[in-house]
């Protein structure tokens, strides 16, 4: 039972890897920071490798994430094309050592969550990998007092890339949102950085900058809960990251 509950919260927390672009910075229940480097854009013929970082903290008890969409503006995109690929099954069984060099989709991140109604906190390290041309994998490892626990949970989640690299979609399955009768999972924070390259192929690329900024958009759709708490309307925002041609 403990393992199932931990997996559920882990999934809900990390599914928000890109959800830093979703929490409304003007909402006292959530804070958001999005950064991109370098901010001088590449061109279609000479794309630039970009490090894209998201950091968010959320205080929305009695809410559970159902679907997360992150949309990047024209001129910047996600991609796994040309990079080494990691197999989800091997990653689940053998951990990060199972993934080849060149398959990383970013730096090690962190996520935190809690199980309600008890409010039990859980902490995780998150390792992003390329799972396909249009797929990212997120490997979660539970930590205790900042140290990865060999007896804790390790699980793999998948993010789907569409709209020519400008949309990242992750759906939380029911069994992870409601791991057992009367229990629900809710996100509390996430810190993730997407970056990676093999030759001239990049996890995040920039090819243009219009209007002096990249507007990162997203939507966070909440799902029904076993406690019948009211399901809030979807949250969305546009966070502007300054850029230049």
Both tokens of 220, joined, read 């966070």
Residue 175 is predicted with a pLDDT of 67
Q: Could you give the number of structural domains in the chain?
A: 1
Whether residue 85 lies inside any domain: the answer is: yes
Residue 71 is predicted with a pLDDT of 84
Pairing mode, strands 204-206 and 76-78: antiparallel
Both tokens of 199, joined, read 């030759």
Whether residue 240 lies inside any domain: the answer is: no
Whether residue 152 lies inside any domain: the answer is: yes
Residue with tokens 């900042």: 146
Whether residue 244 lies inside any domain: the answer is: no
CA distances (Å), 225 to each of 63, 93, 113, in order?
8, 31, 16
Whether residue 171 lies inside any domain: the answer is: yes
Instruction: State the Cα–Cα distance between residues 138 and 104, nearest whole angstrom.
Output: 10
Please say whether the beta carbons of 83 and 106 come within 8 A. no
CA distances (Å), 243 to each of 41, 79, 233, in order?
7, 20, 31
Whether residue 245 lies inside any domain: the answer is: no
User: Omega of the bond prior to 205 within 30 degrees of 0, cis?
Assistant: no
* Domain enclosing residue 167, as ranges: 2-229
Instruction: State the Cα–Cα distance between residues 107 and 132, nearest whole angstrom.
Output: 18
Residue 24 is predicted with a pLDDT of 41
CA distances (Å), 27 to each of 141, 181, 218, in order?
30, 31, 15
Whether residue 234 lies inside any domain: the answer is: no
Residue 4 is predicted with a pLDDT of 45
pTM here is: 0.83
Instruction: State the Cα–Cα distance between residues 96 and 86, nearest whole angstrom.
Output: 9
**What is the full per-residue pLDDT of the chain (245 aa) written as tens digits?**
444 444 444 444 444 333 333 434 334 476 777 899 999 999 999 999 999 998 877 788 898 877 777 789 999 999 999 999 999 999 999 999 999 989 999 999 998 878 899 888 878 899 999 999 999 999 989 899 999 998 887 888 889 999 999 998 877 667 667 777 898 888 778 888 999 999 999 999 999 999 999 998 877 788 899 999 999 888 777 788 999 98
Whether residue 225 lies inside any domain: the answer is: yes
Residue with tokens 């990079």: 83
């Amino acid at each position: 039972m403990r393992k199932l509950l931990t997996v559920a919260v882990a999934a809900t927390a990390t599914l928000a890897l890109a959800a830093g672009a979703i929490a409304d910075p003007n909402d006292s229940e959530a804070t958001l920071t999005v950064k991109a480097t370098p901010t001088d854009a590449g061109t279609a013929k000479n794309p630039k490798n970009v490090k894209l970082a998201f950091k968010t903290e959320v205080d929305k008890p009695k809410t559970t994430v159902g679907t997360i969409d992150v949309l990047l503006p024209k001129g910047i995109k996600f991609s796994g094309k040309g990079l080494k690929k990691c197999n989800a099954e091997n990653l689940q069984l053998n951990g990060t050592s199972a993934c080849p060099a060149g398959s990383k989709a970013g730096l090690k991140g962190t996520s935190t969550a809690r199980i309600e109604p008890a409010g039990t906190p859980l902490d995780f390290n998150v390792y992003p990998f390329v799972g396909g041309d249009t797929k990212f994998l997120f490997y979660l490892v539970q930590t205790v007092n900042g140290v990865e626990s060999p007896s804790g949970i390790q699980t793999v989640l998948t993010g789907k890339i569409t709209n020519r690299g400008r949309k990242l979609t992750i759906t939380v399955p029911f069994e992870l949102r409601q791991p057992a009768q009367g229990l629900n999972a809710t996100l509390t924070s996430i810190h993730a950085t997407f970056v990676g390259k093999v030759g001239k192929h990049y996890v995040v690329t920039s090819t243009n900058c219009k209007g002096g900024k990249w507007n990162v958009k997203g939507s966070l759709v909440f799902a029904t809960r076993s406690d019948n708490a009211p399901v809030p309307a979807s949250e969305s925002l546009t966070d502007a990251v300054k850029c230049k041609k």
